[in-house]
């Protein structure tokens, strides 16, 4: 693959695609692109949103459409600097109609020029068992700035780096993606105070759900870096796949599961050191992050999909991560 050129270009794409006029992207014909979302200090705190497992589709029985649309509308009102989606954006990646549903239901994001940065999940490849080309073309046709690559990086403002991985591709030592991950973390700018890693399969989660492929390699790598004292930025890892919310802390790294974007809910047993200790079994949600003065605050914003009286919105889990001096 070609080396990433140093020259950055402004990229203007059609509404609904990944990059808008406020996003800087590296020149085309590259391997993992570098995006930058400039944020002026005068604009106040930096707010961005993470969610996963939205399953945009017209199919019935695979997602709660009411919850999904409510979350999209609520996120629109947050006016975030960026939105990160941890995979399973659609139900069937081989079906371009699912991506059309995504574009239609999130039209307000495009109208507000909110950049959307997705990671690949297993449903992005659903229907492409023998040939991934159709599924990848549908994904790249929707997010044109990613064409030709499956993982990439984003900087938000001056102090936050987001690494968006493909947990369906190899992450073991010696793999192409792992080499890129180590290069990104090892060469991080001294101004970066927080690193977020977004991928579909969560490296730390309720062990009742079996692991898949190489996601635990990410946790092992970060633990070694922490014990060696070579991680100068605080690290947060956010997976989805499990259709619920979970929060853990391991070797100084915060691990989150955010898979409540609309897909059919999964139970979370919360027996294994899970920190939120939520009492609700169904948790449609997104995570709002706010970075201000070296403090990163995460809030789980929950939507009550059951038809009950009262306000369906709550914020049952909140956590803070302070940057190192």
What domains sit in the chain, N to C, each tagged with a CATH number? 8-322 (3.60.21.10)
Span 310-319, mean pLDDT?
A: 97
- Average of per-residue pLDDT across 131-155: 95
Angle between helical axes of 65-78 and 96-105 (0-180°, round to 10): 50
Would the pLDDT of 189 be above 50?
yes
Residues 37 and 18: beta-carbon distance below 8 Å: no
- Answer whether residue 15 shows pLDDT above 70: no
pLDDT at 167 over 60: yes
pLDDT at 21 over 60: no
Phi, psi of 174 (to 5 degrees): 95, -15
Across the range 209-220, mean pLDDT stands at 86
Residue 68 near residue 56 (C-beta atoms within 8 A): yes
* Angle, alpha carbons 27-168-55 (nearest 5°): 90
CB 120 within 8 A of CB 150: yes
Alpha helices in the chain (DSSP H): 65-78, 96-105, 107-111, 133-142, 176-186, 215-227
Check whether 299 has a pLDDT greater than 50. Answer: yes
Helix (H, G, I), strand (E, B) or coil at 154: strand
Whether residue 147 is predicted with pLDDT greater than 50 in this model: the reply is yes
Task: Evaluate if residue 209 carries a pLDDT over 90.
Answer: no
Residue range 121-143: mean pLDDT, rounded: 95
Q: pLDDT-based confidence at 211, cuts 50/70/90?
A: confident
Q: What is the pLDDT of residues 44-79, one digit of tens each?
A: 899 999 999 999 999 999 999 999 999 999 999 999
Report the mean per-residue pLDDT for the chain. Answer: 89
DSSP character at residue 318: E
Quick check: 323 and 295 in contact, CB under 8 A? yes
Q: With pLDDT > 90 as the criterion, what percentage of the chain qualifies?
A: 79
Location of structure tokens 């010696």: 174
pLDDT score for 43:
64
Q: Which residue has the tokens 């969560």?
A: 202
pLDDT level of residue 11 (50, 70, 90 thresholds): very low
pLDDT of residue 41: 61
For the whole model, what pTM was predicted?
0.91
pLDDT of residue 33: 92
Average pLDDT over residues 224-252: 95
């Amino acid at each position: 693959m070609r080396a990433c050129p140093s020259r950055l270009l402004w990229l203007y794409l059609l509404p609904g695609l990944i990059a808008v006029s406020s996003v800087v992207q590296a020149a085309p014909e590259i391997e993992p692109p570098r995006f930058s979302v400039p944020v002026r200090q005068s604009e106040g705190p930096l707010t961005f949103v993470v969610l996963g497992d939205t399953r945009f589709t017209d199919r019935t029985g695979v997602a709660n459409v009411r919850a999904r649309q409510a979350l999209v509308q609520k996120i629109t009102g947050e006016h975030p600097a960026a939105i990160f989606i941890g995979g399973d954006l659609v139900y069937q990646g081989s079906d371009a109609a699912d991506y059309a549903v995504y574009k239609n239901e999130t039209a307000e994001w495009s109208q507000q020029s909110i950049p959307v940065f997705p990671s690949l999940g297993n449903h992005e490849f659903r229907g492409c068992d023998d040939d991934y080309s159709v599924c990848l073309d549908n994904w790249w046709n929707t997010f044109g700035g990613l064409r030709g690559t499956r993982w990439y990086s984003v900087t938000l403002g001056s102090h936050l780096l987001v690494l968006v991985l493909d947990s369906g591709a190899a992450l073991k030592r010696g793999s192409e993606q792992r080499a890129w991950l180590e290069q990104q973390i090892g060469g991080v700018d001294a101004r970066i105070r927080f690193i977020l890693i977004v991928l579909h399969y969560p490296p730390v989660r309720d062990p009742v759900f079996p692991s898949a492929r190489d996601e635990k390699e990410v946790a092992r790598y970060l633990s070694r870096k922490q014990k060696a004292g070579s991680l100068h930025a605080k690290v947060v890892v956010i997976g989805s796949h499990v259709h619920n919310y979970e929060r853990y802390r391991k070797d100084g790294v915060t691990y989150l599961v955010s898979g409540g974007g609309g897909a059919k809910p999964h139970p979370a047993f919360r027996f294994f050191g899970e920190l939120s200790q939520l009492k609700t079994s169904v948790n449609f949600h997104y995570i709002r992050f706010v970075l201000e003065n070296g403090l990163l605050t995460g809030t789980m914003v929950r939507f009550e999909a059951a038809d009950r009286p009262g306000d369906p919105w709550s914020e049952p889990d909140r956590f803070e991560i302070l940057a190192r001096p």
